Amino acid sequence: MTTPTPNIDQKNKTPTSDVTKKSAKNNNDDTGKQFTFALAGNANVGKSVIFNQLTGSNQIIGNWPGKTVDRAEGLLFFEGYNIKVIDLPGIYSFSTFSMEEIVSRDYVALEHPNAVINVVDASVLERNLFFTLQLLEMNAPLVLVLNQVDIAKNKGIIIDKDHLSKLLGVPVVFATATRGEGIYEAVKEAVNLATNKPKSNLLRYRKDLEEQISKLQNLIEKENLNLGYPSRWVAIKLLEGDTEIAKMVNEKSPSVIAQSRFIAAEFEKHCQEKCFTIIASERYALSNSIVVSSLQQDEIWHPFTDKLDWFSTHRIFGYITAFAVIGGLLLWTFFIGNTLSNFISQGLNYINPINPLLSTSAPFLSIILNGVWGGFEAGLTLIIPFVIPFYLLLAFIEDSGLLTRVAFMMDSAMHKIGLHGKALIPIILGYGCSVPAIHSCKIMETRRERLLAAFAITFAPCSARTIVLFGMVGLFVGIHWALLLYVVNLAIIFAMGKIAMKAVPGKSTGLIMEMSSFKRPSLKIALKQTWTRTKSIIYLVFPIYIIGSALIQLLYFYDILTPISNAFYPITVIWLGLPAFAGILLLLGAVRKELIILGATAILGTTNLLVGFTSIQLVIMALVAMLYIPCVSTMATLGKEFGWKTATLISIANICTALIIGGIAFQTLNFFV
């Protein structure tokens, strides 16, 4: 590893703290040793890699208040400074069409971080500078980090960073974040910026546009609106027709809005173009002229990655690749997971404090303890063996750029259920565990798409459900029956997706996805990513497992489950043809799906499930178990992401599906077998 590790403190100089001119807005002016830096930039440029390198383990991961947008905050000790680092969401613009954009723009404009570290992908400089220019419009104190220079070099791109720095009037640093290069320099520049507060250049657009901007700017300044945003920026936003800003201004001064509308309309009539397209075009024109004068590119041929690209998006090989990737991921997870899971549960058997099966005459405390231990054990035998290998391989597939190609190939299939190619990622995740899968639905643009994907995920056979499927059907009825159920499940996901697409109002937006170039994934980054994802599951799932399992244990012990289960008799026994105790199992399974198997073993007093079930009953039981309700952790996640009403509706839809399909399957099997 190279220089920049967390809490870097290098021998030499602390930056001279210059007292400067205009600094009214900065928070931590006088303390001097307290800074806030924000990492901003497009998606996939390397912000999180830099964030992790800077903050190490001092991180708080949460949500932005009132928003379902991830917020990552961390602490860095750098040459005597306490620096709070915020990793802003990856965005391309500040046009307020997404929550991520609103969060980022309000943070940059209103919280006044001491420095904004704008991470850009050096190999796609023109597009990245489009966003940089918008940060400069906001007068953000900027350090430009040209990241991924290794990839840029590989593409034959050479950037004159001093020239770029002169044009923009901001410090520019080269970096290869994955190797830790350039990060120290970036922080150094940011500290320098925070202490010295030099001014960046004012970049100007074409003359007639600038005239309109300054007309409006004067108006805004005269009215003294005190919005907290820079007035030139507000002027630009008003011209663009930004509804959020217009609303804010309107509350203070409707006359400014009226005049801005007039100015915009006149200008648009004159140019025969809308202001927002003019402004976007101008930003790109400026960005382009900067790139032209500071970047050189030689064509370099990459026989290997070009071949790989050709292969993975080929009309036949592309589908083969896609299925191999998805199938391989699932097989790997199941194979490794099963082996590890057996290994761990055997290991735990030796240190089992209490009999994990429901004991008959134990005191209250040990019942609780038993439940707690059971929950802990289940967490351990599920998360470690199934979730970690899954995430690890997924991280490799993601980082290499392969997943993007799979999404590209599968886009048209996903459209059949109102989603697009990107939704494949959360749905594949759903085969590991529904909780992080639903969490990752955030990568989709609209609430409707997030909802549709999350709904599909609640039917996806996560590793717990897979355990039930193979433990009940695969083991006792036959592996082909288990596989058949897997296929049936796929059909159900598809059908339910289609129904949901019709039921949820709105139109599906399409795919706009960057096809980043293939690259060699790094083990360190993959491990880090795996750990971050696993950690969030552990925090959510372990407590629910432990509490739920203790509670169920109590209910079972005091025989409260049986009467409830009996109330389900018409459904379980008559409609689904299951044994009477299936009601108990379904109650248990609502906490954790594998409890269905554990419970059955406990109730029957043997691991041979054929003692209590016929083959048909096992098939029906597994089928219903796969569909009937999201487990409590999943429900908690759904509630958190979509609200409790939606979570309840989804659960009801699950129950209905399970009952209808289970009942039909029972009647059919009964008829034929």
45 is written with which tokens?
């440029």
When binding is defined by CB under 6 A, the residue of 178, 212, 313, 617 that contacts ligand GDP is 178
Using an 8 Å Cβ cutoff, are 469 and 460 in contact? no
Separation CA 553–CA 561 (nearest Å): 10
Distances (CA, A) of 211 to 260, 271, 545, 671: 13, 14, 63, 80
Q: Which is nearer to ligand GDP, 120 or 462 (CB)?
A: 120
When binding is defined by CB under 6 A, the residue of 128, 132, 176, 637 that contacts ligand GDP is 176
Stretch that binds other proteins, among 92-100, 213-221, 450-458, 661-669 (CB under 8 A): 92-100
User: Using the rule CB under 6 A, is 38 a contact of ligand GDP?
Assistant: no
Stretch that binds Mg ion, among 44-52, 221-229, 255-263, 407-415 (CB under 5 A): 44-52
Using an 8 Å Cβ cutoff, are 121 and 154 in contact? no
Q: Which is nearer to ligand GDP, 176 or 651 (CB)?
A: 176
Residue 518 φ then ψ, to 5°: -60, 140
User: Using the rule CB under 8 A, is 280 a contact of other proteins?
Assistant: yes
Name which of 375, 366, 370, 440 is nearest 632 in CA terms. 375
Size of the site for Mg ion (CB under 5 A): 2
Burial (CB count <10 Å: 0-12, 13-18, 19+), residue 427: buried
Q: Which is nearer to other proteins, 404 or 553 (CB)?
A: 404
Chosen from Mg ion, other proteins, ligand GDP, none, partner binding at 519 (C-beta under 5 to 8 Å by type): ligand GDP
Tokens 């054929």 correspond to: 610
Q: What is the DSSP letter of 518?
A: P
**Which residues, in sequence order, are CB contacts of 636 under 8 Å at separation 6+?**
540, 544
CA dihedral (342, 344, 347, 350) positive or negative:
negative
First to last CA, the chain: 63
User: Using the rule CB under 8 A, is 613 a contact of other proteins?
Assistant: no
Stretch that binds ligand GDP, among 28-36, 170-178, 183-191, 221-229 (CB under 6 A): 170-178
Residue 10 φ then ψ, to 5°: -95, 150
Chosen from other proteins, ligand GDP, Mg ion, none, partner binding at 511 (C-beta under 5 to 8 Å by type): other proteins
When binding is defined by CB under 6 A, the residue of 127, 519, 528, 640 that contacts ligand GDP is 519
Stretch that binds Mg ion, among 45-53, 164-172, 514-522, 632-640 (CB under 5 A): 45-53
375 is written with which tokens?
């929950």
> How many CA atoms are closer than 13 Å to the CA of 245, on its beta-carbon side?
30
Site for other proteins in 510-549 (CB under 8 A): 510-517
Q: Label residue 70 left, alpha or beta by phi (over 0 means left) and psi (-120 to 50 means alpha).
A: beta
Q: Which amino acid is at 418?
A: G
548 is written with which tokens?
């739920």
**Which residues, in sequence order, are CB contacts of 360 under 8 Å at separation 6+?**
none
Stretch that binds other proteins, among 334-342, 367-375, 407-415, 490-498 (CB under 8 A): 407-415
Using an 8 Å Cβ cutoff, are 427 and 460 in contact? yes
When binding is defined by CB under 8 A, the residue of 161, 163, 179, 415 that contacts other proteins is 415
Q: Which is nearer to other proteins, 113 or 421 (CB)?
A: 421
Using an 8 Å Cβ cutoff, are 536 and 439 in contact? yes
When binding is defined by CB under 8 A, the residue of 41, 337, 418, 421 that contacts other proteins is 421
Separation CA 632–CA 635 (nearest Å): 5
Least Å from the CB of residue 551 to other proteins: 46
Q: Which amino acid is at 95?
A: S
Least Å from the CB of residue 398 to ligand GDP: 7
Least Å from the CB of residue 438 to other proteins: 23
Q: Which is nearer to ligand GDP, 146 or 631 (CB)?
A: 146
User: Using the rule CB under 5 A, is 48 a contact of Mg ion?
Assistant: yes
CA 584 to chain centre: 35
When binding is defined by CB under 6 A, the residue of 419, 525, 600, 626 that contacts ligand GDP is 525
User: Using the rule CB under 8 A, is 147 a contact of other proteins?
Assistant: no
Q: Which is nearer to other proteins, 24 or 512 (CB)?
A: 512
Residues that bind Mg ion (CB under 5 A): 47-48
Site residues, ligand GDP (CB under 6 A): 41, 43-49, 90, 147-148, 150-151, 176-178, 399, 519, 522, 525
> What residues make contact with other proteins under the rule CB under 8 A?
92-93, 95, 97, 123-127, 130, 265, 268-269, 272-274, 276-277, 280-281, 284, 288, 297, 313, 315, 318-319, 404, 407-409, 411-413, 415, 420-421, 508-517
